[in-house]
Chains A and B, each alone.
Chain A
Amino acid sequence: MERILFYLIAAVIIVFSVLTVTSRRILRAAVYLLFVLMATAGFYFMLNYNFLGAVQLTVYSGGIVVLIVFAVLLTAHMDHKLDPPDRLKALAVGLLSLFGMGITLYALRSFPWAVTALPEGAYDIEAIGMRLLSYGDKGYVLPFEVISVLLLAAMVAAIIIAKKSTSND
């Protein structure tokens, strides 16, 4: 049963990912992306990692896709259809991707993956929270703080790009 569910979700992800990059209407691409992200949350739920699944649903599907849709609605022309790609280029890219996939699959299948069991309570929200703010072994407070610097810099960067220039008027 679990196996069937896994392949079902995987198929959804693959189909919608391909649709996302091949769709010629940008709004549709954004909606296809929504399905990809939601299906990914399915994997997390299957792994019993409910917290990450919920984060995936709220942040990615709920937040980021909505932001993308807003950005599309505010800037691009909705009816604008991208030009169909060059046949020859599409063929070359397709062949190259298949080649890359072949190599990746071969490499992945040749490796003896070890099955590891997670310690009891690793998915506990309390444990996740403690680890996130711990500064000892396997503590994640440093990346947590560095991300805040990254967000500050990204915000300043976004403002600089979006701000109206004041000098020439």
Chain B
Amino acid sequence: MELAKFLIMRSELSLLAVVLILLVVEIFSAKSKQGAVVNLATGLFLLHTILGFVPVATGQLFGGMYQHTLLTGLMKSVLNIGVLILIMQSSGWLKQPANKGRVSEFFLLILSTLMGMYFMLSAGDFLMLYLGLELATIPLAALVAYNLKEMKSMEAGAKFILLAALSSGIMLFGISLIYGSSGSVYYAEVVGTMEMNPMQIMAMVFFLSGLGFKISLVPFHFWTADVYEGAPTNVAAYLSVISKGASTFVLLTLLFTVFKTMFDAWEVLLYAMAVLTITLGNLFALRQQNMQRFLAFSSIAQAGFLLLGIISGTHYGMTTVIYFVLVYVFSNLGAFGVAAIVYNASGKINIEDYRGFYQTNPRLSLVMLLSLFSLAGIPPVAGFFGKFFLFAAAAEQGYYWLVIIALLNTIISLYYYLRVVKAMFLDRSEEPIGLIKSDVLTRVAIAVSVAGIVAAGVFSQVFDWIHLYGWGM
């Protein structure tokens, strides 16, 4: 085997290089140099992201265990952009004294989970998929528990690892049934053997529940609010955007390929889960006071909308899902970014605390406004087009009732998104949050999110570009 062939997996290789460089730097650097490590890691990851756009040959490696297609390359780039924004946003938090001597570990953990997601996307068999899933989950538990001094954070970490273990156990049972019935773990060999009989449907359901946990679809969502609330704000953002986005991509590609023949079975499942996820997510989001819990339930509802695109099963549907995830990366990171800045500067996390925010921090509140509008789907920002295309994809295949339920829910969601806007712009407060100054990297990150929200909505080329790489069932 020629070594040049390994260039197919350049995303994984360059990410591994970044991780190893950071590991060596951690060993030889002084503990006080927090800022330098953050800058180095951001610089290296920026290089890695740019490298991800350089086209390489597509193909398979390791006897089909690893596959690189234009689509997986595109999905990885979407994730890269999100992670780049996220680690820039985290710089303020990482430079705090409480994180002294624990900065490079943060990057090590977060980048290894990203590598796990890469392997999930590029997997050619269930073994690699499962390994990728574990690599994307176990280090995350430590990140959730990163605020060691807060009981809440530790509790969230414990809850996360226990429920993750349970769900991957169920998923593994599903995989073992698939292996038992088809005699292979390779996707290419499994495809032909999947049929509509009770056993294989059960195997698929068990398998999907593992992914459902990662995407936090109802009824696998019970961990979401507690874990998001306890986790450091930036880690919660990572869970809600990158982790969810990657798992959605995996769900999309697997349903379109391996489980293609079982469409009738997963159509019903996805239909029910979409309705439940959107409705329950919205109803719970209405009553939240804590910003992180609020964003948790909002992200559950958003995941439900994604199912609309998947259920359509068309090329157009796949494009809209990827496009929606891209838009969601920008908008949710914008909202979480502002929440993180506020929490790290003032320790305030409730929606009530945001009263009079516009008076003191006009620019940050405008960013929040734009992000929430995008999440709610108000034109002309990108979120509107994201939702619109998803609805169009589902309606095209005749899922009118599903679209109507989703539309009604969009109206409900408008109420709670605007509740935050009202607190920021209309309400007065005796003691508003003071003027917040953040460092350069955080400001750049917020600017990139805003630019993304606007640009993805204005330039239709983004959608066309994604459409080029997708395919239908």
Contact = CB atoms under 8 A, between A and B. Distances in A.
B102 interface: yes
A110 B203 CA distance: 13
Instruction: Please provide the 5 A-B residue pairs with the shortest distance between their CB atoms, ordered closest to farther.
Output: A157-B142, A111-B199, A153-B112, A137-B63, A107-B198
A160 B128 contact: no
A160 B105 contact: yes
A147 B119 CA distance: 12
Contacts of B157: 161
Interface string A123-158: 000000000000111111111001101101110111
Given A156-B139, A157-B138, A160-B146, 11 more contacts: A103-B202, A104-B202, A111-B197, A137-B64, A139-B62, A139-B63, A146-B119, A149-B16, A153-B109, A161-B142, A161-B145
B62 to A, nearest CB: 4
A135 B180 CA distance: 24
B138 A143 contact: no
Interface of B: 1, 16, 19, 23, 31, 61-66, 97-102, 105, 108-109, 112-113, 115-116, 119, 127-128, 131-132, 134-135, 138-139, 141-143, 145-146, 148-149, 157, 180-181, 183, 197-202
A136 B157 CA distance: 39
A113 interface: yes
Contacts of B113: 153
Contacts of B101: 166-167
Given A107-B202, A142-B61, A142-B65, A165 B197 contact: no
A116 interface: yes
A147 B131 CA distance: 7
A155 to B, nearest CB: 10
A135 B138 contact: no
Nearest to A152: B112
B75 to A, nearest CB: 18
Main secondary structure of the interface of A (DSSP, over half): helix
Contacts of A143: 65, 127-128, 131
Interface of A: 103-104, 106-108, 110-111, 113-114, 116, 135-143, 146-147, 149-150, 152-154, 156-161, 163, 165-168
Given A146-B135, A156-B139, A160-B102, A111 B181 contact: yes
Q: Max chain A CB contacts within 10 Å: which of B1, B101, B109, B198? A: B198
19 contacts: A110-B197, A135-B61, A136-B63, A137-B63, A139-B65, A140-B127, A142-B66, A142-B128, A146-B128, A146-B132, A149-B16, A149-B19, A150-B131, A153-B108, A153-B109, A156-B105, A157-B139, A160-B142, A168-B149
Contacts of B109: 153, 156-157, 160
A168 B127 CA distance: 44
A148 to B, nearest CB: 10
A156 to B, nearest CB: 5
A115 B101 CA distance: 57
Contact of A153 (B102, B139, B148, B199): B139
Contacts of B62: 135-136, 139, 141-142
Contacts of B63: 135-139
A153 B63 CA distance: 26
A161 B141 CA distance: 10
A137 B188 CA distance: 13
Nearest to A108: B199
Contacts of B99: 167
Contacts of A152: 23, 112
A139 B125 CA distance: 12
B445 to A, nearest CB: 24
A165 B182 CA distance: 50
B116 to A, nearest CB: 8
Contacts of A158: 142
A149 B115 contact: yes
A116 B200 CA distance: 18
A116 B64 CA distance: 23
